[in-house]
Structure 1
Amino acid sequence: ATATEAREVRAPEAAVESGVPHRAPVVTIMGHVDHGKTSLLDYIRKTKVAAKEAGGITQHVGAFEAKTSKGKIVFIDTPGHEAFTSIRARGANVADIAIIVVAADDSIMPQTREAVAHAQAANVPIIVAINKIDLATANVDRVKQDLIQLNLVPEDFGGDTIVVPVSARSGEGVEDLLEMISLVAELADLRADPKGEFSGVVVESRVDKQQGVLANVIVQQGTLRVGEFLVVGENYGKVKALTNSLGDRIKDAGPSTPVQILGFSEAPTAGDTVVSAKNEHQAREIVAGRVTTRRDAEEARKRPRQTLEEMMGSLEQVREVNLILRADTQGSLEAIQGILAKKQTEDVKLNVMLAGIGAPTEGDVLLASTAEAQIMCFNVTASGSVQKAATQKGIDLKSFRIIYEMIDEVDRLIKGNQEPVFEERYLGRAEVRMVIRHPKAGLIAGSYVQDGSLKRNAKLKVLRGRQVVFEGTITGLKRFKDDVREVQTGYECGVNLDFNDIQEGDVLEASEMVDVTPA
């Protein structure tokens, strides 16, 4: 359902009679530099957070809670979309909703495209906030038109993307944005059991000279309490203190609560999952098991990786090919995208997750790793560090100087992802004129090729009159004492096959399976 439909028919209070209570949505804000992400967060802080929060503690906790008429909303204050995807790459789904901020006077910019691509790769609902509508040069309709290029079709254009015009300076539209966040959260029916086992995700961590290691965590399930033993990555610790986003020391924290934890011996990585242990002994056992698992994984990575060609040749073919495009100019980029649009078939969809001008970045490699995408470059070259990162993560990164070479690669990708179509084609026939019993090779059908040819490993039918008495393959083929691959019309040969009832006068009919998949 779109937001328009949902506003008319509100989700029932007991949409899911599970007994598990609802939790607050966790929201991240992304977008192009200078489009107003920080200003929007600051406005929400000032108007929706208790007066005690003067702007100091949020930067440390990495998140804050905003109280609205629809309930609590948690905002993550992260460095940007690459940090967001870094967390996703580690298997953590920390955000429920992504807000993409676009300036009304600037429209879609490179980092806007990247932010949208990262949010789409994470498969989280997207709300677009068109900021700076108070400026004289603002053009909201133009932004809405440009959003269509990113597969974000606004509701008033017949799509299902929620678009809210706002001004972080005056506050216009901010209430509407918060209402839309609450609406999307309501439709998603977000729930978490405060009585269940605790789990959370690290948003950020740092080392304080006075206090030690501080980890900023979003509680996802259960309740976190002071005194508990926690395991994160290959480290464990005991919770010595919990601090909420207002800077208050608290004794416990339930689902969707951002907290700062004091108690770890080493700084955990953003995206690491935090779980509880009954005691120190169990915490050590969990860490030991993870160390063993990591070492096994490292050994497995040393083995040869499956190549793209091998993946394409596997039976379980992917129907959607994710691509990240980089080119030297906007004109080249548009031409390549035009070619891709014409090349994709009903069976194979070419999904361009990100298209940008300039050399690929390590952020592109990170996105490609998360979304299982390929990076294709035209007239631009990746730096050594980017190539190294791609190799380490097993990402296919290819550069082209000639457009036709790129087209050939696209054709190969499409064909490799299609279900192969095979057709049985007639090869030839031979008459069995003598049956030879060999002590090692078994029965050998001494035959004369009457038409076409016989090939080793070809499919074979044995005809006796009009009846097929055997179907199998040619396991061996000889000319005198020599093993051969093929025998043509007019020559005699010895044929090995797994059939013990071969008789003189039988006819051998050979065929082969040919790949006739459309190019």
Structure 2
Amino acid sequence: MDNVRIFELAKKLNITSQKLISLLEEMGISVRSHMSSLDSKVAEEICRKVKPKAQEKATIPRSQEKAQSRTSEVTLAETGRKKPVQVSPGISLKEFADLIKKPPSTLIKILLGYGEMLAINAPLSEEMLALLAEELGLEVEVKTVEESLLEEGEGGTPELLESRPPVVTVMGHVDHGKTTLLDAIRHTDVVKTEAGGITQHIGAYQISYRDRKITFIDTPGHEAFTSMRARGAMVTDIAVIVVAADDGVKPQTVEAINHARAANVPMLVAINKIDLPNANPEKVRKELSELGLVPEEWGGETIFVEISAKNKTNLDDLLEMILLVADMQELKANPHTRGNGVVIESRLDKGRGPVATVLIKKGTLKTGDIIVAGDVHGRARALFNDRGKRVKQATPSQPVAVVGLSAVPSAGEEFLVVDEEKTAHQITAERIARQRARIAGPVRRLTLDDL
């Protein structure tokens, strides 16, 4: 057996590269990364120790998840600890009384004792809730409806988590071949639909490669990438920085690298247009090394792949490396909870009305679900995949176009599936109130010094 790279041996043994690296460390063998080479004798010894195993996916239906939740509630009761009463901001006195199963008159008497006179439908402030909780021996937790829903399905048992496809953002300077690369991967002609060959909007596409799926996001100048990062809703797992071999590093290339670093996203470099006579991949490597992206062949940790999107050269190598980096991250999500994700793009369609392209972060989005996106809500009348085909549901890392919203949401907004129209109205009202509070800001009085 000749020298073999770690990721190749891991693939042969049907285990993850991360697991193989851990095994090597236990054996006292230090390696730098999944691209490091192993001596043939070491590789043979590992092959004898590790038996290839097919990793089984352990899944638990939603009914069992609920049963586990009930079990945890019983455990709380057995230990004598009281479960906190969760309330939304601005809850009325009557609503709170109904929630804790006490007559409203009891709460009014308690507040009167503290000099607070409230009507039955008046909203309770956090201070009043704290007073009532202390008097009644309760633990009250103030949470928005949105926060409560987002916490559903969080954590849980590891058995609920399933492997999901990686989400890859393709970035780079204008006209360096980002969309041409995606076009070559999808075997469709997207570039011709763009004005002047420059991307006018964000496209999210999912492809199948060697029985595995990869989701790609094409960005126009990275505005949406920045927007998603600013809102804390970054869903990108891997950034592919596309650099033209004949043009080298440009301002938007540097900007793309900075965005990926700020979002703490691993990067791969695709040196495109190597088919051109004036292509100079070594120059690109040198320029990127100065920016901190040192190629693995130069002793660094960044994977570089030389490609020609136009001639479809080395695209298999690029996809292989993307899957390798994804395996190192061990990407997982819970598909059994309510759908939650990010709006990638949105538009007003003449025939369909408001249409939002969303990317699922966790859970499952189904036709007929009530969703909230930003300050917009509605029922998902229809879902379409990136090929324009109607689908019944969308799972983690899958992009779909949603038809049925009341208005066009902003790109980068988080969306959430809710059970009732009433809940959707509550969440949109909360979001609008927070937005107004941010815009208004604290009121500052004008002083004589200012004048």
**TM-score, normalisation: structure 1:** 0.54
How much does 1:145 deviate? 1.3
Tell me what 2:361 maps to: 220
**Hey, which of these two has a bigger chunk of strand by percent?**
1
How much does 1:197 deviate? 2.0
Contact 1:203 1:270 in 2 (8 A): yes
Q: 1:60 to 1:112 in 2, by over 3 A?
A: closer
Select which of 179, 182, 185 maps to 1:44.
Answer: 185
Tell me what 2:7 maps to: 6
1:273 paired with 2:414, answer: yes
Q: 1:61 to 1:247 in 2, by over 3 A?
A: farther
Separation of aligned partners in 2, 1:136 and 1:99: 24
How much does 1:171 deviate? 1.2
Separation of aligned partners in 2, 1:155 and 1:99: 16
Tell me what 1:133 maps to: 274
Contact 1:99 1:127 in 2 (8 A): yes
Contact 2:241 2:268 in 1 (8 A): yes
Contact 1:59 1:77 in 2 (8 A): no
1:257 paired with 2:398, answer: yes
Separation of aligned partners in 2, 1:75 and 1:197: 23
Separation of aligned partners in 1, 2:215 and 2:373: 22
Q: Which has the larger radius of gyration?
A: 1
Tell me what 2:175 maps to: 34
Tell me what 2:347 maps to: 206
1:147 paired with 2:288, answer: yes
Which letter does structure 1 place at the counterpart of 2:221?
G
| Secondary structure of 1:151's aligned partner | coil
Separation of aligned partners in 1, 2:368 and 2:201: 22
Aligned sequence identity (%): 48
How much does 1:138 deviate? 1.5
How much does 1:297 deviate? 3.1
1:109 paired with 2:250, answer: yes
Which letter does structure 2 place at the counterpart of 1:293?
R
Write the deviation string for residues 139-195 of structure 1: whole angstroms up to 9, x where unpaired. 212211111111101101111001100011211111000001111111111111111
Tell me what 1:119 maps to: 260
Tell me what 2:427 maps to: 286
Contact 1:15 1:189 in 2 (8 A): no
Write the deviation string for residues 193-246 of structure 1: whole angstroms up to 9, x where unpaired. 111121010000000122110000011111111111111111211111111111
1:62-73 maps to which residues of 2 (within 5 A)? 62-69=203-210, 71-73=212-214
1:371-386 maps to which residues of 2 (within 5 A)? none
Structure 1: gaps spanning 5 or more residues: 305-519
| Secondary structure of 1:247's aligned partner | coil
Structure with higher RCO (Cα < 8 A, 6+ apart): 2
Which letter does structure 2 place at the counterpart of 1:113?
V
Q: 1:191 to 1:199 in 2, by over 3 A?
A: same
Select which of 241, 254, 278 maps to 2:382.
Answer: 241
Write the deviation string for residues 82-117 of structure 1: whole angstroms up to 9, x where unpaired. 331122112211211111011111211111111111
1:153-232 maps to which residues of 2 (within 5 A)? 153-232=294-373
Tell me what 1:467 maps to: none
Q: 1:109 to 1:228 in 2, by over 3 A?
A: same
Aligned residues: 298
Separation of aligned partners in 1, 2:368 and 2:211: 33
Which letter does structure 1 place at the counterpart of 2:246?
D
Contact 2:228 2:413 in 1 (8 A): yes
How much does 1:300 deviate? 3.6
How much does 1:39 deviate? 1.3
1:56-67 maps to which residues of 2 (within 5 A)? 62-67=203-208
Separation of aligned partners in 2, 1:29 and 1:222: 25
Separation of aligned partners in 2, 1:234 and 1:297: 15
| Secondary structure of 2:417's aligned partner | strand
Tell me what 2:32 maps to: none
Tell me what 2:241 maps to: 100
Tell me what 1:366 maps to: none
Tell me what 2:439 maps to: 298
Separation of aligned partners in 1, 2:182 and 2:293: 23
Which letter does structure 2 place at the counterpart of 1:123?
N
How much does 1:299 deviate? 4.0
Tell me what 2:71 maps to: none
**TM-score, normalisation: structure 2:** 0.62
Q: 1:294 to 1:212 in 2, by over 3 A?
A: same
**Hey, which of these two has a bigger chunk of helix by percent?**
2
How much does 1:293 deviate? 2.5
Separation of aligned partners in 2, 1:80 and 1:98: 14
Write the deviation string for residues 456-482 of structure 1: whole angstroms up to 9, x where unpaired. xxxxxxxxxxxxxxxxxxxxxxxxxxx
Contact 2:200 2:220 in 1 (8 A): no
Write the deviation string for residues 261-280 of structure 1: whole angstroms up to 9, x where unpaired. 01111111111000011110
Which letter does structure 2 place at the counterpart of 1:32?
H
Write the deviation string for residues 383-435 of structure 1: whole angstroms up to 9, x where unpaired. xxxxxxxxxxxxxxxxxxxxxxxxxxxxxxxxxxxxxxxxxxxxxxxxxxxxx
Separation of aligned partners in 2, 1:16 and 1:125: 26
Q: 1:284 to 1:129 in 2, by over 3 A?
A: same
1:24 paired with 2:183, answer: no
Computed over aligned residues only, the root mean square deviation of the Cα atoms, in angstroms, reads 2.8
| Secondary structure of 1:137's aligned partner | coil
Separation of aligned partners in 2, 1:138 and 1:78: 25
